[in-house]
Structure 1
Amino acid sequence: MGALSFVDVCSGAGGMALGLEQAGFEPRLLLDEDEVAVQTLKSNRPRWNILQTDLLNFDPAEHPESYDVDLLAAGLPRVKSSATARRVDSGLEEQLLKATVYLVHAIKPRAVLIENVPELTHADSHGAFREFARTELDHLGYTFSKFVMNAVDFGVPQNRRHGILVAVRQRWAEAFRPPVSPSGGPVTVGTALGSSMAARGWADAVRWAAQADQPAPTLVGGSKNRGGADLGPRGAKRKWATMGVNAHTVGDKVPGPEFVWDPELGRDNMVKLTVEQAALLQGFPSTWQICGRKTARYRQVGHATPPPVGKALGRAVSEALISDSPVSAAG
């Protein structure tokens, strides 16, 4: 059997697609409406078939390569959650969720994977969508499941919880199991960023890394309608301060030999993380290039699905689809 195929919608910076590639999948089509995100995808994988379009306007009949794939993956814009309680609800996120389910009718994948906030799997506010998805997918011959996974359990140096909705065609559904965390403790911020902090000769990089002895709080990309880049809400900023990091902004470069690190003197004497370092905290390889200006680059990183999460999910789906014990002959 050759490599499994996938279509990825709302691809962003490519975290989900990269993870699926690492799990042995090959993309048939990726799509995203954001011009800069498309530039990021093309700069890293010029041979991928990448389309700039809004999912709501996507017509699979114009792209027959999207039909009959093994997996439809969607790391969709985040629906409203407890962390975004003050956000004005546009309804767009829910429209994209439904559009993904409707896309299943057309392209008929063997499995469907939707990644979003944990609340999507259990909150009453999203119960109507879950029932809609379950009913539609059951009608099409899929078995629906949901679970939450934390990126930190899969080698990502960040506490980042993901709500996962999975639908697998009944022939292979019984073989699907949610990813299991590998053994070993969490990767800390200091371990992940120590060498990059020392890249310009900053002598205190080792001392800083020793203090940054825990995983990062969840990175937040922010919306296109708000200001510049920072590392998250107030609680996250306080957590970063305990690691000697000024989380109120994103830096242009790592500290040089002249930088005096003394968190007791305030923000100006704390380190600032760069976009490249934020990408490392999301589990991207250092070779992955993020295009655009600083705020747009950070937004792509903050919104991304960590590639190790995509890889773990891809492996779980792959193991089910290549299983030798189908439940029934219908597929």
Structure 2
Amino acid sequence: MTDGSERKLTAIEICAGAGGQSLGLHLAGFQHTLAVELDRDAAATLKRNLSRLAAEEGNAEPVVAVGDVADLSVWDPRDHRDVSLLAGGVPCPPFSIAGKQLGSSDERDLFAWAVEAAGQMKPDAVLLENVRGLSMPRFAGYRQAVLDRFSELGYRADWRLLEAKDFGVPQLRPRFILVALRDEFAPYFAWPEPIPVVHTVGAALYELMAANGWPGAEAWARNAARIAPTIVGGSKKHGGPDLGPTRAKREWRSLGVDGLGVADAAPGPDAPFDFVPKLTNEMLARIQGWHGPEYEWDFADGKGRKTSTYRQIGNAFPPPVARAIGSAIASALRKDGQPAGEHGAILQYHDEVYRALREQDGHVSIAWVRKALGGTLDDAEIRRRIEFLSKDFEIDVRQRGSVPTYRLGDWRAFRGQEDHARHEAFASHRRRSKIS
């Protein structure tokens, strides 16, 4: 593949959902060759829209594979070694603040597996996104294991917490983003800068809210001239469509929105002036960033099931954010501008305790770790970090007299192991149709 502005940029996307990231990457200049998604309704939306985009541009229609992304009968990463970008939004529940944050112990965790898939495919770049919870101290060791594995595979990788509101989307929606690039491209990468204009719920939705003649629409839009809380798509393990937990519903209420469900249509002319409306799926799609001619997207309705469409929208990666990051990656792969060489050098989301333990074959004490780190952490913080590590890694503890010593063992994360507990758990959930 050649460098420069004429270079064809291709993408394979895993856990692609209904295509928020897909559309953003398309607008950034990437051409999908394959997308993999478990949910059939989301996959139908994806196929419908990716096929349309390919036809409009005269490109080959991408394959949309439906099934477990880690099932080699669905696709095999080793068959796709000539691709510019591997991207995906691997499942969020293992890291979500709203959940139990089980990390590697959650059968839905696919982050480590995605890293190994990248190792088999050898793309020029990798983009993986997840929830803010993955940025917390609880997962410091997990994050470091990901970074170190990418380094072994010949990539420079780093994390960044980005908020959708900074990229023209009228909601907060913080997302924790990992970008990894091969050594030759990494110096050309720079994280996208926020745009100067902030979009609000009222401005985004006034047209739709007034479409059926509701007399209170203009006043409603003035009150809603703020950023929305994060839309929560939910999962098949939990109930129907609503706009999040109690605190989020209170925030929606302050915007003049009833968060207890999704409406079929905007309020009509007979609705009271001070009516508190629910949002329609079309409105929710706008708040998620599907707004304007470039962002046209046709959602498969799952045989008329409103909840299916809501989940597709609510679980999506906002297309404008994906476009901003995709454009930054595309620029790096074209080697635009002067190399800065900084990607992967910032230590904000690294874990020095994990690194210190990993570099030792034997057991070491808290005092040894403190000394190895130059006294930058006290004993209580080191113990806390080791406790966090024990949730995702085997930690062998041995007493040396009265002093406990520690040895870092295997990472419990699923990376494709044939004997991993994920296989049995996944099969059980699949039988109950409650995987996500």
Cα separation, 2, equivalents of 1:58 and 1:137: 22
- State whether structure 2 residue 49 is matched by structure 1 residue 44: yes
Paired amino acid for 2:289: G
Corresponding residue number in structure 1 for 2:348 = none
- State whether structure 2 residue 150 is matched by structure 1 residue 137: yes
Cα separation, 2, equivalents of 1:284 and 1:327: 33
Percent of aligned pairs with the same residue? 40
CA contact (8 A) 2:11 2:86 kept: yes
Cα separation, 1, equivalents of 2:260 and 2:74: 42
Note the residue ranges of structure 2 that are not aligned, 5 or more in a row. 1-5, 52-60, 342-436
SS of 2:185's equivalent in the other structure is helix
Corresponding residue number in structure 2 for 1:175 = 188
> Alpha-carbon deviation of 1:56?
1.4
> Alpha-carbon deviation of 1:131?
2.3
Matches within 5 A, 1:245-264: 245-262=257-274
Paired amino acid for 1:289: D
Corresponding residue number in structure 1 for 2:231 = 219
Note the residue ranges of structure 1 that are not aligned, 5 or more in a row. 263-268
Corresponding residue number in structure 2 for 1:265 = none
Larger Rg: 2
- State whether structure 2 residue 279 is matched by structure 1 residue 273: yes
SS of 1:83's equivalent in the other structure is coil
- State whether structure 2 residue 179 is matched by structure 1 residue 166: yes
Cα separation, 1, equivalents of 2:146 and 2:72: 19
Q: State the superposition RMSD in angstroms.
A: 2.2
Cα separation, 2, equivalents of 1:88 and 1:224: 18
Corresponding residue number in structure 1 for 2:290 = 284
Distance 1:114 1:124, change over 3 A: same
SS of 1:166's equivalent in the other structure is strand
SS of 2:108's equivalent in the other structure is helix
Counterpart pick for 1:311 among 323, 331, 335: 323
CA contact (8 A) 2:93 2:99 kept: no
Distance 1:223 1:167, change over 3 A: same
Superposed CA offset, 1:26-50 (max 9, x none)? 1111010111111111222223321
> Alpha-carbon deviation of 1:201?
1.8
Corresponding residue number in structure 2 for 1:266 = none
> Alpha-carbon deviation of 1:245?
0.9
CA contact (8 A) 2:201 2:224 kept: yes
Cα separation, 1, equivalents of 2:100 and 2:210: 39
Distance 1:204 1:128, change over 3 A: same
Matches within 5 A, 1:162-241: 162-184=175-197, 186-241=198-253
Distance 1:181 1:274, change over 3 A: same
Superposed CA offset, 1:209-267 (max 9, x none)? 111010110000111011110011111111111121101111111111111142xxxxx
Distance 1:87 1:258, change over 3 A: farther
Corresponding residue number in structure 1 for 2:13 = 8
- State whether structure 2 residue 41 is matched by structure 1 residue 22: no
- State whether structure 2 residue 123 is matched by structure 1 residue 120: no
SS of 1:137's equivalent in the other structure is helix
Paired amino acid for 2:71: N
TM-score, length of structure 2 as denominator length: 0.69
Distance 1:25 1:65, change over 3 A: farther
TM-score, length of structure 1 as denominator length: 0.90
Corresponding residue number in structure 2 for 1:75 = 89
CA contact (8 A) 1:60 1:106 kept: no
Counterpart pick for 1:92 among 103, 107, 115: 107
Corresponding residue number in structure 1 for 2:430 = none
- State whether structure 2 residue 333 is matched by structure 1 residue 321: yes
